Amino acid sequence: MKIKLVLLGIFFLSSCTTFKINYPACVFPDHSPFPGGVINKIIKISSAEISNVKAEQKSVYLCQVDQDHWKVLVPISLSSEIKPIVILNKDKTLLKVPIFYKEYSESKITINNTDLVSPPAEYLPRIKKESELGKAALSVVSNSYHSALKMSLPLEGLKSSEFGVRRFINNEPRNRHTALDIAAVVGTKIMSPLSGKVLLVGNFYYRGKTVFLDHGGGMISTYSHLSEISVREGQLIKKNEVIGEVGQTGRVTGPHLHWQIALFSVPIDPELFLEQAF
């Protein structure tokens, strides 16, 4: 009889025990609510509803922090208007986040090879095809996610052009600079700042030799103007693994790495993701 009572007590205690779920740390870049930055906020929503969460009609990057709360990461386009961005669950407003103006510098460069500034007609089909390939790669959203998005610097070098700079080539206004340029000598090893999968490699008219890495969940990074590519498409890459070497292929004025990070096709400042300030 005593044995039965003891067993009954054990069953009762075990059935009332709440098992703790260990959620990931969700280490995202700091909240930086300006064009070229990211929104980093916590929303209250059930797991069943997360696929409904949108901002600016785009998907968002999510990481669960507890049973009812998720950390949300939203990219802010350089062309974004200075007005609040609304995060929605279908038609229900979850958050309305103010966006602030940020001043970016200007950069004036001279390129003597006029074919790289205004390409001859025979190169236009190639440029169009490469542009479509690049856009398709940047739009990939795979199912894997990183809960920790802090990155290492891809190489040691000098910052030669910041993200967001207003560019003038041969005194003509051009598109904003949507990457971080790091100058280094030709042959300097370039390492992946975060684990991922090689999505695309190629030798592009403007980008030169380039690697696209898929880090999952809509986050893509690119590495351009390389002299050598050390990886192949489909290859899984660990953090700090060599992916190529610095070069000056494509449209360049000197050897450097053109490092771009895009979330749901929106380029954002790579420096926001660095483990240590550059």
What is the tens place of the pLDDT at every residue in 170-216? 888 888 999 999 999 999 999 999 999 999 999 999 999 999 999 99
If pLDDT is split at 50, 70 and 90, which confidence band does 76 have? very high
Predicted pLDDT at 8:
42
If pLDDT is split at 50, 70 and 90, which confidence band does 17 have? very low
Asked if pLDDT for residue 145 goes beyond 80, the answer is yes
Tell me the CATH architecture of domain 22-97.
Answer: Sandwich (2.60)
Share of the chain above pLDDT 70, in %: 93
Predicted pLDDT at 20:
62
Reference 229, options 253, 251, 203, 252; nearest CA is 203
pTM of the model: 0.88
Instruction: Decide if 22-97 and 106-273 have a common fold.
Output: no
For residue 38, give the H/E element and its range. strand 38-44
- For range 121-132, the mean pLDDT: 95
Contact (CB, 8 A) for 210 and 201 = yes
Domain layout of the chain by residue ranges = 22-97, 106-273
Asked if pLDDT for residue 82 goes beyond 60, the answer is yes
Encoded amino acid at 84, one letter:
P
CA distance 198 to 1: 65
Decide the pairing of beta strands 219-229 and 172-173: unpaired
Average confidence score pLDDT of the chain = 91
Tell me the CATH architecture of domain 106-273.
Answer: Distorted Sandwich (2.70)
